[in-house]
A and B are shown apart, each in its own frame.
Chain A
Amino acid sequence: MTRHVMIVGCGRLGATAANALLDRGDRVTILDTDAENFRRLRPRVRLSMYVGDGTSHEVLRRTGIESVGAFIAATGRDTTNALAAQSARTTFGIEHVVCRINDPTRSEMYERLGLTTVNPNQLLIELVLDAMEQ
């Protein structure tokens, strides 16, 4: 089943997620405030790229948030991600929302508030520790 996913932030995480989703056949709309970051992606049929602020409800609405089924907040800033993700969930009622949070003490709070968070650093640390065990 083809899904339509909106991603805010076209850094390494956002771009990699976009490519993986496109490879699986999903549709992707990606936003970044800096057009330069789109160099990480090449044009593809089911990919839309927009320069804009993913915390602005007006921008989210204009770029089609009302028709997406999933939302990923993937910028490098926790505060931006938290605002974008909570906008997607609370203001636009998106069911599947994932939010990148780098600070582990904050991600625990957001989890308590019902937000699904991922912490790249934490994942990396776990992988490193696992590798050392072997």
Chain B
Amino acid sequence: MYVIVVGAGKIGFYLTRELLAVSHEVALIERDAYVSATAAEEFGSILITSDGTEPTVLGEAGAERCDILISTTGQDATNLTACQVAKYSFNVPKTMAVVTDPDHVPLFRALGVDVTISTTELILSHVEEELTGGPFVHVLPLRGAASGIVSMRVPSGSPVVGQPVSRIKLPQGTLLTAVIHKNGELKPVVSDPELAADDAIVAITPPEKEDELWHALTGEARR
């Protein structure tokens, strides 16, 4: 795949490195000459020192044949503009934006950004998980946002502990995709493993079924 990354800050830098490691073609665009010089040592010719919100710059970077544009700067306004230019001037099939202000998430979706990554919400969901021992972690919203991938831990007092996966009464439209033992071992769902306390469950579920799924896995109402 051909990926354009806008912003060579911390997120953009490491993202580009990971994308290259799994053999994607990447162009990295950074406006700031100083930040760019640091990244150039690592990435060489795929780095473009210019403004990734300008149509001429994105055009020269080959936005027309780009599969995904990911805008990772610390500025919401910049990330929105880069995504909108990619989508509406170059028909880039998928755009992703890092969003700093959580209030902007619904707006960005309404304005055509396919995937929003809210760093605040991401960290918050992990904080909540650590503090209360278990609500949902929203791992990833899926395309169209009708369903999302969620993860949660089975509490020790849950009625599903000791039960095989097939006995869980899942809400309609919910698919249990993986069970991960607390030692990190992945238990395939097809082998119908027995659930233990502290197993992590990964499921695909529509947002309105989350409470029901929570109840099915804990035996309690969701707080």
Question: Is A34 part of the contact surface with B, judged by Cβ < 8 Å?
Answer: no
- Indicate whether A68 reaches chain B with its CB closer than 8 angstroms: no
Smallest beta-carbon distance A57→chain B, Å? 4
Q: Is the CB of B107 within 8 A of A91?
A: yes
The answer to whether A103 and B54 have CB atoms under 8 Å apart is yes
The one of A58, A83, A109 in contact with B80, judged by C-beta atoms closer than 8 angstroms, is A83
Chain B interface helix/strand/loop/mixed: helix
How many A residues have CB within 8 A of the partner chain? 20
Q: Which residue of B lies closest to A104 (CB)?
A: B55
Alpha-carbon distance between A112 and B84 when the two chains are bound, in angstroms:
12
A57 and B101 in contact (CB under 8 A), knowing A78-B81, A79-B80, A82-B81? yes
A residues contacting B by CB (< 8 A) are: 55-58, 77-80, 82-83, 86-87, 90-91, 103, 105-106, 109, 112-113
Q: Which of A77, A83, A105 has the most CB of B within 10 A?
A: A83
Q: Is the interface of A mostly helix, strand, loop or mixed?
A: helix
C-alpha spacing A9/B210, complex, angstroms: 42
Q: Cα distance A82–B53 when bound, in Å? A: 11
- Residues B77 and A83 in contact, CB atoms below 8 Å apart: yes
Q: Given the known A-B contacts A80-B77, A82-B77, are A109 and B88 also in contact in the complex, defined by CB atoms under 8 Å?
A: yes
CB-CB under 8 A from B107, the residues of chain A are: 57, 86-87, 90-91
